[in-house]
Chain A
Amino acid sequence: MDIEPNNLEAFLCELTRHQRRLRGLVRCLLFDPRDVEDVWQDTNVLLLRKAHEFQLGTDFWAWASAVARYQVLTHCKLLGRDRLAFDLDLIAMIAAETEQLGESIDERRDALQLCLEKLPGPQRQLLEMRYGAGTSLEEVAGKLERPVGSIRQTLYRIREALLACIERRINLDSVS
């Protein structure tokens, strides 16, 4: 089966450039990291299959995020009742607001890089433990021989501090 020859390369560039945003969008809508990975991958496959429908020069993010949102909604309909998932109307609301962030998603990530550089070593180590191998809260607590609640509280404070740092960075950039 032949592909659309025109602009394939440019399409792949757009797809590559938007990978992080797409993953972030899916993360905003699903809670189980495995679901996020599955839907993210599935979205990529679908985008590639629909490549011929995309008109270069139009808004790739608008198009791709709509596909991702559709994939999430389809996925949520299939989730069992025992799984935590937002109601579909709230998913649509959050998706729309995330999509509107557009490039600021990339800006936030850039700001995070700087914030992480400033993060004290022990806090960074905890993040590495938590995210390094998808380690669960319980496993982290076990390794550190600390109560789960304490680890959860610490992670909350680190995230809160990082969010505040990101906001400050973005505000600094906007006034400089």
Chain B
Amino acid sequence: MSEFLHADQSGQDDASRLPAEGQDRGVTEQISALIDGAVDRETFQRLQERLRQDAASRRQFIHLMLLDADLADEFSTESVGGMVDVLSTPLPKPVSPIQRHVEDHSRGSDSVRRSWIHGGITLATVLLVCGSLFWWNRSSAPPVAESRSALAQVVRISDSSLEPEFRAGQKLEAGTVRLMSGVVEIRIQSGVTALLEGPVELEILDPMQARLVKGRALFRVPPPAIGFTCRTANASVIDLGTEFGVYAGEESGTEVQVYEGEVIAGAAAAMQQQSGQRVQSGQAVLIRGDGLSEPEEIQFLPDRFRRYLPDPKDPHDPDRTSTGIYNDAQHEELRIVPTSGNVVIDGSLEDWNLSGEFVSRCRPPFETFYHLRGAAMYDDQYLYIAANVGDPFPMRSTVSPHIKRDLYGNGGCLAFRISTDRRMGWPIRGLAPGVDRNRQLLPDDVNEKLVFLILWYYEPERLPCLHVKYGMDEHDRKVNPPGYEGAFRKWPDGLGYTAEYRIPWSLLSAEDAPPQAGDVLGWTWLVHWSGPEGRNWKGQLIDISNPKETGWNFHRAATWGKAVYTGRNP
């Protein structure tokens, strides 16, 4: 028996006593091994049969799995640089309507508090300040005063020399955070993290409420803190389990942009009447300062808010500088060439005709590690796509194709917007719903031949995946449909990957009239990069675009570049 069980035992600790007589240790041991991923299929089948037959074993199983969930909740942290126990301090008296309601309705407030408290532990926390000037509630309390009733905490600071009285791990009372420049991330007791980009003022009212006086803040809200509310002078945003950014302008009103999940946003007066508008992932709205108008949809801009902070230990981390991973599109057209014989989809491009290949790189300083060599071929039945992608964290996506989502590319992917409509030719027509609020959807907007593809490698199952959406309105979607083949191969130096796909024209709504030599159709090529965890989007490259058009490729198909289908000898 391990010293872990014997050490520190006084004989009095009831948590370390042996189990009560009569418990079936065999089943318990098997379940424990199952939790630890240490059972073979045969043992699993035996356990399954036992559980099916025996109610007592099922009860033991349920209790053990619930224990495992609670232990994971109790101990887990995904924070980088060590867990900081901001959550061990008692919550101040709740003041938000939501909290009051929770307390009124719960068996007792303790269980609710605990759910918020411990939920925060599971939230990934990455914190760094970039050249920040940061102080906490200067007007009412010494900036370095430790709080016994901390409401939030600074987790990490990149350059403490700029503001030496602050340090990582410092606990913060209720009050206003003012940041003149740079970026800082704080964690609120409820588990919500707030990424503040100076100049900004954020007042934390309680674990479930904050008031953005001015500036930009991005919030990540774990499930236990659903209902977290960010108020501004004229608007309120209620989280529904998400990541969202809020910009409080002094006169222009409030901008809300949702990266993941959804929120309810609206003018303050409307929200008091429990009325608002859902804003979902990929959407942004403006709530004007008059406090009366309905939220207006505005263009979603990925870099409207800073979402990630750098890891100073990671030489490839894009957030080490103030610029993100982006590129300037360099190509208007992609030459898609005929195949030259049989192509084996194996992640090797030796059997490819790469005469149409193009190269695109991200802006400095990321051009060394973040770049693309792309190529495409075609024949009567298939479109072939190949890419060599510079990626310091290649093929790590943990975004499961088995779970229905709007977006599958957060963990790193290739993506394409393609038109196979030979009658339309180029430039491409079609708008996404809501881009022009005064316009009804037109046939071009719902054209099945305007297709969005996401290609990614699902690392847990080593599975090359494909997500297809049809129309600018994305009215139809398929995940890993039959008929395509894909292969990924990591580079020997680990700094990139090669992807190779063969996709039947039938999946691209072109089985009736596949592209022919001489066609000029539509194409935009995207690469998305994630961090080392294979879950969080870090940056992107977009190329093959129409230089005469502006706007987002997912809003306006006119921005797509040309796909020039060449003959045998281009």
Q: Which residues of A contact B (CB under 8 A)?
A: 1-3, 5-10, 12-17, 19-20, 23-24, 27-28, 31-36, 38-42, 44-45, 48, 75, 78-80, 82, 84, 86-87, 89-90, 93-94, 97-98, 101, 103, 105-106, 108-110, 112-113, 115-123, 125-128, 130-134, 136-137, 146, 148, 150-168
Number of A-B contacts (CB under 8 A): 283
Q: List 18 A-B contacts (CB under 8 A).
A: A13-B98, A19-B226, A20-B73, A24-B65, A24-B66, A34-B460, A41-B223, A42-B403, A44-B223, A87-B48, A90-B51, A97-B59, A103-B107, A106-B111, A110-B111, A116-B74, A159-B35, A161-B18
A-contacting residues, B62-98, CB 8 Å: 62-78, 83, 97-98
A163 pairs with B67, CB closer than 8 A? yes
- Known contacts A115-B14, A120-B8; decide if A23 and B69 are in contact (CB<8 Å): yes
Known contacts A120-B9, A132-B83, A166-B67: A137-B37 contact under CB 8 Å: yes
Pair A94/B13 contact, Cβ less than 8 Å: no
Interface residues as binary, B378-420 with A (CB distance below 8 Å gives 1, 0 otherwise): 0000000000000000000010101110000000000000000
Query: Interface-forming stretch among B131-139, B245-253, B270-278?
Result: B270-278
Minimum Cβ distance to chain A for residue B245 (Å): 19
- In the complex, whether B321 has a CB less than 8 A from a CB of chain A is no
Chain A residues whose CB sits within 8 angstroms of the CB of B19 once the complex forms: 160-161, 163-164
The 3 closest A-B pairs by CB, nearest first: A120-B8, A131-B75, A156-B32
- B8 and A9 form a contact (CB under 8 A): no
Taken together as a complex, chains A and B put the C-alpha atoms of A132 and B273 apart, in Å, by: 42
Q: In whole Å, how far is B73's beta carbon from the nearest beta carbon of chain A?
A: 7
User: Are A17 and B75 neighbours in the complex by a CB distance under 8 Å?
Assistant: no
> In residues 1-54 of chain B, which contact A (Cβ within 8 Å)?
1-5, 7-9, 13-20, 23, 25, 28-29, 32-39, 41, 44, 48, 51-52
Give the shortest distance, in Å, between B30 (CB) and chain A (any CB).
Answer: 9
Does any Cβ of A come within 8 Å of B241's Cβ?
yes
Query: Is B314 an interface residue, CB under 8 A from the partner?
Result: no
B119-170: which have CB < 8 Å to A? 119
Bound Cα distance from A6 to B5, whole angstroms: 53
Q: Would B400 and A136 count as touching, CB distance under 8 A? A: no
- Kindly list chain A residues whose C-beta atoms are within 8 Å of the C-beta of B439: none
Name which residue of chain B comes closest to A148, CB basis: B38
Indicate if the CB atoms of B66 and A28 lie closer than 8 Å.
yes
The secondary-structure label for the interface of chain B is helix
Chain A residues with Cβ below 8 Å from B105 are 10, 13-14, 17
B14 A165 Cβ-Cβ under 8 A: yes
List the B residue with the shortest CB-CB distance to A153.
B2
CB neighbours of B34 from chain A (8 A): 31, 84
Contacting residues, chain A, for B102 (C-beta < 8 A): 13, 16-17
B68 touches A152 (CB 8 A): no
* CB < 8 Å neighbour of B14 from A17, A118, A156: A118
Specify which chain A residues have a CB less than 8 angstroms from the CB of B464 in the assembled complex: none
Q: Which residue of A lies closest to B30 (CB)?
A: A156
A94-B62 in contact given A9-B98, A116-B15, A152-B33 (Cβ < 8 Å): yes
Nearest chain B residue, comparing its CB with the CB of A134? B76
Q: Using Cβ atoms and an 8 Å threshold, which residues of chain A touch B240?
A: 12, 48
